[in-house]
Structure 1
Amino acid sequence: MSQISPDRRGFTLVELLVVIAIIGVLIALLLPAVQQAREAARRMHCSNNMKQLGLALHNYVDTHGKLPASSRGYGGCLGTPVNSEIKNAHGLVSLLPFMEQSNLYDQFNHKEAYSVSTSTSYQRATGTIIGDPVTNGNAALAGTVVEAFICPSDNNDATGRLAGAAYGPGGSYQGAATNYDFIVNCSLEFGTCNGYATTSSATKRMFGADVNTSFADVVDGLSNTFMMGETTKNHVNGAAFAWSYRAWVMTGIDTYYNNGIYGGINIWHQPAVHPTWQSPPFVPIRGRARSWWVPAASLHPGGTHFLMGDGSVQFIQETIDKTSLYRLTFMADGEVVSLPN
C-alpha cells in the first residue's frame, strides 16, 4: 500500500524578496553602529597616542629641566637663527628616546641639518646650513613612518606630500607626516627668526623656536593650557607637517592664528582667501584642513584632541567660542578659562 507524502512548499519569490529586504534593513540599521564603534576605538587610540606624547614630554622635563624647543635653526623664517646655524630640526625628534624609539633617535646625525631647501624662496634665513641631510642620512630617515605620531582616524597617506624643494627633507627624499605637533605662535615662528625669546610673555604659547620653556612659565596653569594639538596629514595650504624636520611653513599648530581670523578647529574652507584661489572654485574636502598652514583639525566627528600642559588629553568641540580658544592657547596672558564641557 503506497503512502502519499504531504506537500512540501519552498519560499515563494515574494517571500524571498521580503526576507532579503528585511536583512537589508537590518544591515542598514547595524552599519552606522558598527562605524561608530570603530571610530570610537580609533579615537581612543588617538587619545592614547597623545597621552604617550604627554608622558614623553614630562619625562623629558624630568631629565633636562625644560621642554624641548619647537624647532632648532629653522631656515624658513626671516632673520638669523641662534648661532647663525640652519638645521631645521623638529622638536619631536628629541622625544624619541622617551617613546621607546631610541634606536631610531640614535641613527640621526643631531649635529647637522635635518632638512634643507636648495631654493632661497623657501630657505629665507641668514646663516650657515650645517651639513647636508642627504649625505648625513637624516633625509632618508625622514621618510620613516612612526605609528606613535599617526592618528588611525586620518585616512590621508603619511607619505607622498612632503617632497620637493618646499616640503621635502632634501634631494629626492620625502618625509613622513605627523598628526601631532606643538602649539606655537606661527606668525612669530615663520616671520621672525629667534623672535620667541624677545616677545611678550602675554602672547606666548608653550613652545617656541630655539627656546626651552619650563612648566613654571605656564602661569595660567598646566591644566588650562594647550601643549600639543592634533592636525591632519593633508593641509591645503602647506602640504602637511613632517615629524622629523621643519620646512616651508612647517611651524606647528596655532589655533588662534592672526587673532583668530584664520584659526579655529576643523576648518576645511578658510573664509578669507586670496581671490585667485577661487579660480576654479575651491571644493572643501573633509580631512584636508585649510586653516592656512597651521591647522588644528581631525577626522573625529565634531572636534579635535589637545594635549594639555598637565599631560591630560581633552577633546575640544569645533564649535568652541574664539575667546575660550584664545585663552586656552596662551600660557601667560592672565586670562584663565575652564575647559568647556
Structure 2
Amino acid sequence: MTLSPHSSFRFFSRNSRRHGASKVVQKSTGFTLVELLVVIAIIGVLIALLLPAVQQAREAARRMHCSNNMKQLGLALHNYVDTHKVLPASSRGYGGCVGTAVNSEIKNANGIVAILPFLEQNAVYDLFNHKEAYSVNPGSYQRATGTVVGDPATNGNAAAAQTELQALLCPSDNNEVKGRCSGGAYGPASGFSGAATNYDFIVNCGLEFGTCNGYATSASNTKRMFGADVNTKFGDVTDGLSNTFMMGETTKYHVNGGAFAWAYRAWVMTGIDPHYSATNGGINVWHQPWVHSTWQSPPFVPIRGRARSWWVAAASLHPGGCNFLMGDGSVHFIPESIDKPTLLNLTCMSDGEVVKLP
C-alpha cells in the first residue's frame, strides 16, 4: 500500500503521542528540603508565641475554678451561721497546743467537717464519729493535757479523713493530695494518710499552737474570725465582713510541716495566718527569714508551690498572689506584694483599722 506524504505524517504524529516519543517536561510540585525547614521553623515560632497565651488562659480558668470553690465555702459558712447562729470553731480539742484541752478531751477535730452538710457532702459527714477523736498524734506531738477520746483507727474517722474532696482542692496546685498528711506527726492514725486541703480558716496560728484555749482570753484587736474551741459571731467582726479575711488559700505541701488536712488537726496544723509577725509572714513566701538556708545540709533551696512553714502558709501556685474568702462571702485575689500593715488589718476582725482591698 502506498502512503502519501501527508498520511505518513499523520501516522507518525499519532504514534509518537501514543508511545511517548515526544516528552513533555513537568515542573515538580513537592517541597524542597530548605522550604520544609523554613515551614517547620515558622510553626515552631508560632507555637512559642501561642504557648504562653494558652498557658495563661488555662491558669485563668484554674484560678476562676479555685475562686468558685471558695465562694461555695463562703455560702456554706453563711448557711451554717443561719442555722447555728455562730461560726464553727477552727478546731475542737486540739492536742498539739500547750495547756489543758477543753473538758480535758482531745479530739483534734477540724471545723471544716462541720460545714460539710452545707457543701452537699452529707454522705461524707455521716462517715465520722463526731463524739470521738478525729486523729491521734502520739508522744511529743501531743502536748496538751487530756484524754484522747476514742481511737480514730477503729471509730472510722481516720478512714473518712482519707476522702479526697474536690471542693477543697485548687486545680492550680499540682502537689499530691495524699502522702504529706501521714505518719505520727501529721497522719490521723497509724497506717492512714489524710487528704490535704488548699483552703483553711484564718487564725492566729502562734496562739493556736502555743496556748490551749488561748483565743478566749486574747486581746480583741488581735483576734481573727476563727479560734480553737470558740464560736464567733458575725457581729463580732466589727471591722466589717467585707474588710476581713475568713478563709485563705494554701499549698498542699509545707516544707516545715506536712500540709493541712481538711478533716483533722495534727502537729502544727492550726489554720492559715497571713501575718505571723512584722518580720515573718506574707503571701507566696517560699523562704522565711527565721529559717536560714544554711541550717540544712545541703542548704535549703526554695521551691515555688511549697510553703516554707506552717506558720506562714498563705500561698498558692497562682502567679502573683492567692485567693482569700472575705467575711461577706466574696472572694478576692490578694497580690503577694501587699504590705504587712495592710495584711494585718485584713487579717484581724476588730482592730479598728478598716482598709481598702488592694
Is the TM-score greater than 0.5?
yes
Q: Give the partner amino acid of 1:260.
A: A
Name the structure 1 match of 2:308.
290
Asked if 1:45 corresponds to 2:45, the answer is no
Partner of 2:222: 203
Match of 1:10 among 20, 25, 30: 30
Distance 1:68 1:292, change over 3 A: closer
The alpha-carbon deviation at position 293 of structure 1 amounts to 3.5
Are residue 35 (structure 1) and residue 55 (structure 2) matched? yes
CA distance in 1, matches of 2:114, 2:291: 36
Specify the alignment match of 2:351 in structure 1: 333
Tell me which structure has the larger Cα radius of gyration. Answer: 2
**Residue of structure 1 equivalent to 2:338:** 320
Q: C-alpha deviations, 1:246-300, integer Å up to 9, x for none?
A: 000000000111x232210001111221576333211111000114444100000
Counting only pairs closer than 5 Å after superposition, residues 167-186 of structure 1 correspond to structure 2 as 167-186=186-205
**SS of 2:279 mapped into structure 1:** coil
Offset of residue 240 of structure 1:
0.4
Amino acid at match of 1:221: G
What are the within-5 Å matches in structure 2 for residues 68-217 of structure 1? 68-119=88-139, 121-217=140-236
What TM-score results when the alignment is normalised by the length of structure 2?
A: 0.92
SS in 1 for 2:322: strand
Seen in structure 2, the aligned counterparts of structure 1 residues 276 and 165 have a Cα distance that, compared at 3 Å, is farther
Q: Deviations over 1:187-244 (max 9, x none)?
A: 1100000010111111000000000000000000000000000000000111100000
SS at match of 1:83: strand
Q: Secondary structure at the match of 1:80?
A: strand
Deviation at 1:316, TM superposition (A): 0.2
CA offset at residue 165 of structure 1? Answer: 0.6
Work out the CA distance in 1 between the residues paired with 2:260 and 2:31.
59
* Poorly superposed stretches of 4+, deviation over 6 Å: none
Q: Which amino acid aligns with 1:82?
A: V
Asked whether the equivalents of residues 222 and 309 of structure 1 are also in contact (C-alpha less than 8 Å), the reply is: yes
Match of 1:246 in 2: 265
Q: Indicate if the aligned counterparts of 2:293 and 2:300 stay in contact, CA closer than 8 A.
A: no
Secondary structure of the structure 1 residue equivalent to 2:126: helix
Q: CA deviation at 1:88?
A: 0.1
The residue that corresponds to 1:263 in the other structure is: 281
Counterpart of 2:282, as a letter, is G
Q: Residue 82 of structure 2 corresponds to which residue in structure 1?
A: 62
What residue ranges of structure 2 are gaps of 5+ in the alignment?
1-15
Amino acid across the alignment from 2:318: H
Structure 1 unaligned residues grouped into runs of 5+? none
Does residue 304 in structure 1 map to residue 327 in structure 2? no
CA distance in 1, matches of 2:322, 2:299: 27
Amino acid at match of 2:342: S
Task: Give yes or no for contact 2:134–2:157 (8 Å, CA) kept in 1.
Answer: yes
Distance in 2 (alpha carbons) for counterparts of 1:261 and 1:80: 30
- Check conservation: 2:259, 2:310, Cα contact below 8 A: no
Tell me how far apart the structure 2 counterparts of residues 148 and 275 of structure 1 sit (CA, whole Å). Answer: 35
Q: Percent identity?
A: 77
Do the aligned residues in 1 keep the contact of 2:129 with 2:156 (CA within 8 Å)?
yes
Residues 125-179 of structure 1 show CA distances to partners (whole Å, capped at 9, x for unaligned) of 0011100000101011111110000000000000011111100001111100000
Contact 2:202 2:226 in 1 (8 A): yes
Question: What is the DSSP-based 3-state SS (H/G/I as helix, E as strand, rest coil) of the residue aligned with 1:236?
Answer: strand
The residue identity in structure 2 corresponding to 1:283 is V
Contact 1:262 1:291 in 2 (8 A): no
Write the deviation string for residues 6-50 of structure 1: whole angstroms up to 9, x where unpaired.
222421111110000001101111111110110000000000000
1:189–1:195 contact (8 Å) kept in structure 2: yes
CA RMSD of aligned residues (A): 1.1
How far apart in 1 are the matches of 2:345 and 2:138?
A: 39
Please, what TM-score do these two structures have when normalized by structure 1?
0.97
Are the equivalent residues in 1 in contact too, given 2:252–2:260 (CA < 8 A)? yes
Q: What count of residue pairs does the alignment treat as equivalent?
A: 338
- Taking the aligned partners of 1:87 and 1:274, their CA distance within structure 2 comes to 34
What is the rounded CA distance, in whole Å, between the counterparts of 2:193 and 2:241 in structure 1?
36
